[in-house]
């Protein structure tokens, strides 16, 4: 074997060794990252959460979720706790936990107030109410939401359409048998909400300040 052939063979062997070493390093790094992620996941899942007494259904513990500032008040979500041991930290994470109620906290007040008097519902179709936009968005003045039964959670299940202002001091029970909110917008100083009730579209108008209903019309959808 001449020297040039010998060195070519050595280089080929070195290349194979380097590739094998690189693969082993990649597998080791991947395993290390996986272990780190699993530890972080379990560690976060085991962190203590602020629980709320739930005397009606103690087998379904409730915890406080994310808080959002709306005007001069703070709204804190009450979520059904995860009982499977997995990582679910409310709406902001990959997991889903039903929204059961909303806690209102006013600046300077020592006691909070709940939107609903019980925790027997699941709050869905949460829609922010904004006044006529002066810029790109407009200012939020309230929320529309549908409270459905906790025992029957299906796509076709209906509930109560509820409106409330930023502080939660004004709460209006609009209608029952509502499946979904299609639209909520302020036009010409009037809050208009299009929702589905009993398999029929309803267009209702409200005072944007008091949230009191002014009128409602059932929309007749023509046949095609």
Dump pLDDT digits (tens) for 86-113: 333 344 344 568 899 999 998 888 888 9
Question: Same structural domain for residues 126 and 221?
Answer: yes
Regarding predicted confidence, which is higher, 172 or 3?
A: 172
Please state the domain count of the chain: 3
Question: Same structural domain for residues 204 and 159?
Answer: yes
Determine the average pLDDT of the residues in 75-80: 87
SS3 breakdown of the chain: % helix, strand, coil, rounded to 5?
A: 20, 40, 40
Strands 113-114 and 121-130: unpaired
Q: Which helix (H) or strand (E) holds 95?
A: none
Question: Same structural domain for residues 68 and 37?
Answer: no
Give me the percent of the chain exceeding a pLDDT of 70: 64
For residue range 177-203, list pLDDT tens digits in order: 999 999 999 988 899 999 999 999 999
Report the CATH number at residue 128: 2.40.128
Contacts of 45 (CB under 8 A, 6+ apart): 85, 86, 87
Q: Determine the structural domain holding residue 110 and report its residue range.
A: 48-119
Question: Same structural domain for residues 64 and 86?
Answer: yes
Residue where a domain terminates, one of 119, 137, 156:
119
Residue where a domain terminates, one of 56, 87, 119:
119
* pLDDT for residue 135: 57
Regarding predicted confidence, which is higher, 80 or 188?
A: 188
Question: Same structural domain for residues 146 and 104?
Answer: no
Regarding predicted confidence, which is higher, 82 or 184?
A: 184
Question: Same structural domain for residues 124 and 221?
Answer: yes
Residue with tokens 């200012």: 139
Question: Same structural domain for residues 135 and 43?
Answer: no
Question: Same structural domain for residues 130 and 107?
Answer: no
Mean pLDDT of the residues in the chain: 77
Question: Same structural domain for residues 129 and 221?
Answer: yes
Question: Same structural domain for residues 112 and 140?
Answer: no
Residue 21 — pLDDT band, cuts 50, 70, 90? low
Burial class of 162 by CB neighbour count within 10 A (0 to 12, 13 to 18, 19+) = buried
* pLDDT for residue 94: 43
Determine the average pLDDT of the residues in 28-53: 52
Residue where a domain terminates, one of 80, 97, 119:
119
Question: Same structural domain for residues 9 and 69?
Answer: no
For residue range 106-163, list pLDDT tens digits in order: 888 888 899 999 888 999 999 999 887 655 666 888 999 999 987 766 667 899 999 9
Helices and strands in the chain, H and E counts: 1, 12
Question: Same structural domain for residues 147 and 217?
Answer: yes
Beta strands in 81-212 (DSSP E): 99-106, 113-114, 121-130, 140-149, 159-165, 171-187, 190-197, 200-206
Is residue 219 helix, strand or coil?
Answer: strand
Q: What is d(CA 155, CA 142) in angstroms, rounded to the nearest whole number?
A: 25
């Amino acid at each position: 074997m001449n020297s040039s052939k010998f060195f070519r063979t050595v280089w080929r062997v070195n290349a194979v060794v380097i590739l094998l070493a690189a693969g082993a390093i990649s597998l080791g790094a991947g395993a290390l990252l996986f272990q780190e992620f699993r530890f972080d996941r379990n560690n976060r899942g085991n962190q203590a959460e602020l629980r709320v007494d739930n005397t009606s259904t103690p087998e379904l513990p409730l915890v406080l979720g994310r808080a959002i500032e709306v005007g001069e008040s703070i709204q804190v979500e009450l979520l059904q706790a995860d009982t499977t041991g997995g990582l679910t930290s409310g709406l902001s994470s990959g997991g889903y936990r039903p929204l059961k109620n909303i806690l209102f906290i006013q600046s300077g007040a020592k006691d909070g107030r709940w939107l609903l008097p019980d925790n027997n519902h699941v709050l869905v179709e949460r829609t922010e109410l904004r006044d006529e936009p002066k810029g790109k968005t407009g200012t939020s003045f309230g929320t529309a939401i549908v409270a459905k039964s906790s025992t029957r959670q299906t796509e076709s299940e209906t509930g109560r359409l509820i409106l409330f202002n930023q502080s939660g001091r004004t709460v209006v029970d609009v209608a029952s048998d509502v499946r979904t909110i299609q639209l909520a917008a302020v036009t010409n100083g009037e809050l208009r909400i299009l929702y589905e009730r009993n398999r029929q579209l309803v267009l209702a108008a409200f005072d944007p300040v008091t949230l009191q209903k002014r009128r409602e019309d059932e929309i007749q959808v023509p046949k095609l």
